[in-house]
Structure 1
Amino acid sequence: MHPTIKFYSNKDGEIFRFLSKYYDINEKISQNFDIYYHSLEWQNSYENPIEIATILGVFADNMDRYEMAMWLCLDKGYYIKITPNNADSIIRYLYERFPY
């Protein structure tokens, strides 16, 4: 099982808007990342868990701009909600647990 992130939102277009800005693309995001403007949830698995640190950091820095929640799954069945209080610690933990 690869580590997974999930985004949830009650606001239409919020996840699409965040991912469009994160990936700096607008037109082909729905094809490349299986996300549509009206999606209220989105998940992605990463073979290299260190890639999660980047999107986690961007989300943590911009939490106040988006009405959505981010959850992280590193071990099957256990999800951690990303908050302003735990984001930095989780990023450090990712680099400690997956040093490659």
Structure 2
Amino acid sequence: MATKTVTIVRVYLREGENLLSDLLKFLHDEVQVSGVTVVRGIAGFGADGKLHLSSLSDLSLDLPLIVEFYDTPERISPILQALESQPGITHVISWQSTCYIKQL
């Protein structure tokens, strides 16, 4: 398997913030990162301390979302700078990793 160094980024959002669509459009259309996954949480809380839960008795429309994407460190650096200026994007983490690529 071939390997390459990548930077993985996680952006934490809430459904009620209505930021997901614009963020995905930015990552897909404008900067064209290598891959994106969005995960919807079943529970979580942020800096405000308010607990957001998914249950049958309380179908919340404000659950946590995690948007994770990756690309080479050179491509991720300007993307992180652009995210800093986007309103509502307040919780972003990143780390370096190794991507294993199976050659067919």
- What TM-score bracket applies, with the shorter chain setting the length? 0.3 to 0.5
Larger strand proportion of the pair: 2
TM-score (norm 2): 0.46
Higher Cα Rg, which structure: 2
Name the structure, 1 or 2, with higher relative contact order (CA <8 Å, separation 6+).
2
